[in-house]
Amino acid sequence: MPVHAENEATLVAEAREGKAEAFTQLVNRYERNIYRLALNLTGNREDAEDVLQEAFLKAYSHLDQFQGNSRFYTWLVRIAVNEGLMKLRKRRSDKSASLDEMVETEDDAVPREVVAWEDTPEQRYAKTELQSILSEAVESLEPAFRMVFVLRDIEDFSTQETAELLNLSIPAVKSRLLRARLKLRQRLNKYFTRG
Amino acid sequence: MLCTEVMRQLSEYLDGELDAALVQELEQHLSDCQDCRIVVDTTRKTIEIYCNTEPAPLPPEVRTRLHKALARRLAKGR
């Protein structure tokens, strides 16, 4: 077992025994990742903060249910994803799209605008400006695409893990990922086009 | 291979998950089709930019509120 994972298992065991310091160490280790995930999933700072808090509070309350079959971090992400989904469903009544609405059509999968980018277009922007461009583009995706893109390409989970985290089939993950990538490419065109 | 087929296989090609025979067909198409080449290149860059960019930091006030909420919960014990 890698040292990092072994250490994680020890911390989880100690937290289960009621050692608050051990759980705090787990929080310190993953709070940034969970916040980034929550922010990308919900596209909203207030919701992201709620998801962050709920994910860690629920993880602590349900530590006994953690089987140890996966990494603690994967289990934590699953809780955060569920919290994020609940936030999005609550917002469904407003302008946000349904998570499952008609995402399998392919009408917009074909690129409409084909223009080349510079070799390293991201260098055109300062760090914070680039972060803001990228966040806005992700937030503009429909939730069904955003969830898959965030887990696969930002959080680096495999297709199989993403399917399990979102209760989707592997073909559905692949199809949504392709469309999310193409939509993002299209939305970033105006910032990164050569010339 | 047609352009529409290239688009269908794009993700798996970029993820290195495409069958070798299909890779050869797809790359043959790319050598003749500038539009598809651009789409493949810009989609690859899209993924790379997201992979390589540092995430926005956790705002200190958000972290403080998280740790306060946790301290209250942890004080109750398991």
Q: Which residues of A touch B46 (CB under 8 A)?
A: 181, 184-185, 188
- Whether chain A has a CB inside 8 Å of the CB on B55: the answer is yes
User: What is the rounded CA–CA span in Å between residue B37 and residue B3?
Assistant: 10
Q: Is the model more confident about A108 or about A73? A: A73
Q: Which residues of A touch B52 (CB under 8 A)?
A: 122
Closest listed residue to residue B26, CA positions, set B37, A90, B77, A75: B37
Place of tokens 């490419």: A185
**Range with the lowest mean pLDDT among A77-91, A113-127, A163-177?**
A113-127
Residues of chain B above pLDDT 70, percent: 99
Supply the Cα-derived Rg of chain B in whole angstroms: 23
Q: What is the pLDDT of residues A63-72, one digit of tens each?
A: 999 988 888 9
Contact (Cβ atoms closer than 8 angstroms) between residue B10 and residue B34: no
A117 pairs with which residues across the strands?
Answer: A193
A193 pairs with which residues across the strands?
Answer: A117
Q: Which of B41, B58, B77 sits opposite A31 (nearest CB)?
A: B58
pLDDT confidence of A97, banded at 50, 70, 90? very low
pLDDT confidence of A1, banded at 50, 70, 90? low
Q: What is the pLDDT of residues A133-152, one digit of tens each?
A: 999 999 999 888 999 999 99
The mean pLDDT of chain A is 86
pLDDT confidence of A96, banded at 50, 70, 90? very low
Q: What is the pLDDT of residue A102?
A: 44
Q: What is the pLDDT of residues B44-62, one digit of tens each?
A: 999 999 988 777 789 999 9
Write out the H or E segment, with its range, that includes residue A84.
Answer: helix A72-90
Report residue A21: phi and psi, to 5°: -60, -35
Closest listed residue to residue B53, CA positions, set A190, A44, A125, A27: A125
CB contact under 8 A, B66 and A31: yes
Q: What is the pLDDT of residues B6-23, one digit of tens each?
A: 999 999 999 999 999 999
Closest listed residue to residue A39, CA positions, set A185, A139, A142, A188: A139
- Whether chain B has a CB inside 8 Å of the CB on A186: the answer is no
Q: What is the pLDDT of residue B32?
A: 94
Q: What is the pLDDT of residue A27?
A: 96
Q: Give the minimum alpha-carbon distance from A33 to chain B in angstroms, rounded to a whole number.
A: 8
**Range with the lowest mean pLDDT among A84-93, A103-112, A153-162?**
A103-112
Is the Cα torsion angle B22, B26, B27, B29 positive or negative in sign? positive
Q: What is the mean pLDDT of residues A94-101?
A: 50
Query: 3-class DSSP state for residue A156?
Result: coil
Which positions ≥6 away from B50 have C-beta within 8 Å? Answer: A134, A138, A153, A154, A184
